[in-house]
Amino acid sequence: MKSINGKKIAAYLNEELKDKLKSFRIKENITPTLVVVLVGENPASNIYVKNKKIKADEVGINSVVKKLDSGVTEKQLLEIIDNYNKDNNVDGILVQLPLPSHINTEKIIDAISYEKDVDGFNSKNIGLLAQGRPYVVPCTPLGCLKLLKTEIELMGASALVIGRSNIVGRPMSYLLTNHHATVTLAHSKTQNLKQLCKRNDIIIAASGIPKMIKKDWVKDKAIIIDVGINQIVDEDNKKVLVGDVDYSNVFSKVKAITPVPGGVGPMTIHCLLENTLKLSMLRRNL
């Protein structure tokens, strides 16, 4: 039993990235630029964007937060994205989700040039990942993969991904398949999830259901990556963040598990910054 310290691993990887960015600056005279488009005043989105900007500044990525009023039209947003697509100084474009309901999210994500789609969410990048020839990999699944690789050989391992969202579950299943794991993808209509959990060496939990996975659901010495970030009120009436796995309940049975917070979250931000540098280099054939 072991806690996988995502915060520490991400801090180490961020230091490495900082050095790579420094060399890139010295050799090519380029500081990659990440644009984060934030629409409206969603409090959680505000915090996520702030954290991304702080980390980008720390490693030496130029970050720009483009704040837009919640009343911005789809047409205006498409024009803004088009301008960033054409701007040679912009390497990565991220549109913070969720968007207001009058805007078609898929249309906006697909309007980002695949070469600047730093989240890896648009249909071309998801298609390339599904075909096993990724250009850029979505940040949360990539962060999970990096954590898994510190614990287990993926080739031939059995992995259960719980959740089929376009930003976590589905791309995670493609990524694990590309790394030769045998993958099962579970979702809200899946029958006998507990039995499936018990059969797999690896569980990636991304359902958004607090503490759903208990000790009697997991195989002995399983590796668990808990993507869930759920706010609940604890016994002392305090608001706390918990994952989709009942961490203290399963801890003694598993080989390794990520905590929430301090597991996948910091790795997601690291991968966003790594992707920004990667896109900057790829676009210039470097």
Which residue among 117, 119, 226, 244 is the active-site one? 119
Among 96, 201, 253, 278, the one annotated catalytic = 96
| Residue with Cβ nearer ligand NAD (32 or 266) | 266
Residue 185 DSSP SS3? strand
With respect to ligand NAD, which residue has the nearer C-beta, 49 or 229? 229
3-state SS assignment for residue 167: coil
Q: Is 96 a catalytic residue?
A: yes
Cα–Cα distance measured from residue 116 to residue 198, given in angstroms and rounded to the nearest whole number? 40
What's the min distance (Å) between Cβ of 10 and ligand NAD? 11
Closest to ligand NAD by CB, 27 vs 239, is 239
Is 119 a known active-site residue? yes
* Residue 206: HSE in the Cβ half-sphere, 13 Å Cα cutoff: 24
CB of 210 to ligand NAD, least distance (A): 8
Within 10 angstroms of residue 101's Cβ, the number of other Cβ atoms is: 7
Note the residues at the interface with ligand NAD (CB under 6 A): 140, 162-165, 167-169, 186-188, 190, 193, 206-209, 227-230, 264-265, 268
Rounded CA gap, 183 and 205, in Å?
Answer: 13
Shortest distance in whole angstroms from residue 26 CB to ligand NAD: 32
Which residue, 85 or 166, has its beta carbon nearer to ligand NAD?
166
What phi, psi does 222 have (nearest 5°)? -70, 160
Q: Which is nearer to ligand NAD, 85 or 158 (CB)?
A: 158
Helix (H) or strand (E) holding 42: none
- In the three-class reduction of DSSP (H, G, I as helix; E, B as strand; rest coil), residue 130 is classed as helix
Supply the minimum distance, in Å, between the C-beta of residue 28 and ligand NAD. Answer: 30
Asked about 52 being catalytic, the answer comes back as yes
CA dist list (Å): 61 to 18, 31, 94, 218: 9, 6, 14, 40
> CB neighbours (10 Å) of residue 41?
10
Residue nearest ligand NAD, Cβ-based: 165
Are the C-beta atoms of 155 and 179 separated by less than 8 Å?
A: yes
| Least distance CB 225 / ligand NAD (angstroms) | 10
The catalytic residue positions are 52, 96, 119
